[in-house]
Amino acid sequence: MNTAAAQTVSRGVGVTVRGLCKSLAGQPVLHEVDLTVEPGEVFVIMGPSGSGKSVLLRHIIGLMEPDTGEVLIAGESIQSPGVRDRHHMAMVFQSGALLNSLTLAENAGLYLREHAMKPEAEIADIVARALAAVGLTGQEEKLPGELSGGMRKRAAIARALVMEPQLLLYDEPTSELDPLMAATVSREIVALQRRLGVTSVVVSHDRELAFGIAHRMAIILDGRIRCVGRPAEVRALQDPQVREFLDATFRHH
């Protein structure tokens, strides 16, 4: 792990993916995926659209079960009972996935209210702080439908923050965002990791984001992990397929 991750007081949990295979509708999507994410690091899984990175993320959070292989959170299978009670995990979905019938404040406080973890006044205070941390003060009573894509994404980060996660997963956190907002979200991911020492797994095809925030990263192509390493190591790779993905540009003139 690099120095930035090591400097934080790590409360994050490690993630191990072993021999993960998954087929959807008869089509293989992930082949023998092996991966280790160290506690407290920002790990980016990068790959083109349709390469299986979001499916991999859904396996890590336990929304999908592998055909073969396993996902371990701090050494425990994600499918084992009570693992979510012992290790707080949160995910920021590509669309935000806020509950449309609830206001922003209700969305952000949902986890604490449903698990009856704190008194109502304390929940309101925590929610206000979480929304302030992502620049959404004053928007508490708005419904998700009244917000822009960027605001929804930041609200989803606030909802995750309230959970005080040890593992935080981001699915395409900068997609559909303008460059300014993408930079804000990227900074927020790094700031969270520094502040809380949370383990962050980010799935993205945004090269700028990936190389900007990752302590380590993996490139996934056609459901196979092609390489894992620090950004500088990945950048120096000579694998033609990896290079094609990393160097792809569009020039009209």
Partner 1 sequence: MIYRDIGQAILLFCEAARQWPMVWRDRARIREQLHEIGNASLFMACLLALFIGGVLALQTGPVMSERGVSSFIGGMVGLAMCKELAPVMMAVLIAGRIGSAMAAEIGSMQAYQEIDALRTMNIDPVRYLVLPRLVAITVGLPLLVVFAVLIGWMGGAMVCISNPQISITYSGYLNSLKAMVQVGDVANGLIKAVVFAIVIGTVSCHQGLTTLGGPRGVGRSVTKAVVNSIILILVLDYVLTRVLLNL
Residue 61 binds partner 1 (CB under 8 A): yes
For residues 220 and 46, the answer to whether their CB atoms sit within 8 Å is yes
Could you tell me how many residues of this chain bind partner 1 (CB under 8 A)? 23
Residues 6+ away with beta carbon under 8 Å from 45:
35, 53, 56, 57, 201, 202, 203, 204, 217, 218, 220
Query: Site for partner 1 (CB under 8 A): which residue of 115, 187, 195, 243?
Result: 115
Handedness of CA 194, 195, 199, 200 (dihedral sign): negative
Please, which residue, 89 or 228, has the CB nearer to partner 1? 89
DSSP designation for 78: T
Q: How far is the CB of 99 from partner 1 (least distance, A)?
A: 5
Query: Site for partner 1 (CB under 8 A): which residue of 100, 236, 240, 252?
Result: 100
Q: Which stretch binds partner 1 (CB under 8 A): 13-21, 112-120, 176-184, 196-204?
A: 112-120
Q: How far is the CB of 118 from partner 1 (least distance, A)?
A: 15
Query: Site for partner 1 (CB under 8 A): which residue of 56, 89, 130, 214?
Result: 89
Q: What does each C-alpha distance from 22 to 26, 28, 29, 40, 250 come to in angstroms? A: 9, 6, 6, 27, 33
Q: Which stretch binds partner 1 (CB under 8 A): 35-43, 88-96, 123-131, 197-205?
A: 88-96
Which positions from 166 to 205 touch partner 1 by CB under 8 A, shown as an x/- string?
Answer: ----------------------------------------
Which positions from 146 to 165 touch partner 1 by CB under 8 A, shown as an x/- string?
Answer: -------------x---x--
d(CA 16, CA 19): 10
d(CA 164, CA 229): 28
Q: How far is the CB of 107 from partner 1 (least distance, A)?
A: 9
For residues 110 and 163, the answer to whether their CB atoms sit within 8 Å is no
- Block residue for tokens 């956190």: 173
Which positions from 39 to 58 touch partner 1 by CB under 8 A, shown as an x/- string?
Answer: -------------------x
Q: Which of residues 220-249 bind partner 1 (CB under 8 A)?
A: none
Residues 6+ away with beta carbon under 8 Å from 89:
61, 62, 73, 165, 166, 167, 168, 169
Q: Provide Rg for the chain, Cα atoms.
A: 18
Q: How far is the CB of 171 from partner 1 (least distance, A)?
A: 9
Please, which residue, 84 or 243, has the CB nearer to partner 1? 84
For residues 33 and 219, the answer to whether their CB atoms sit within 8 Å is no
Binding residues (CB under 8 A) for partner 1: these are 58, 61-63, 84-85, 89-91, 93, 95, 97-101, 110-111, 114-116, 159, 163
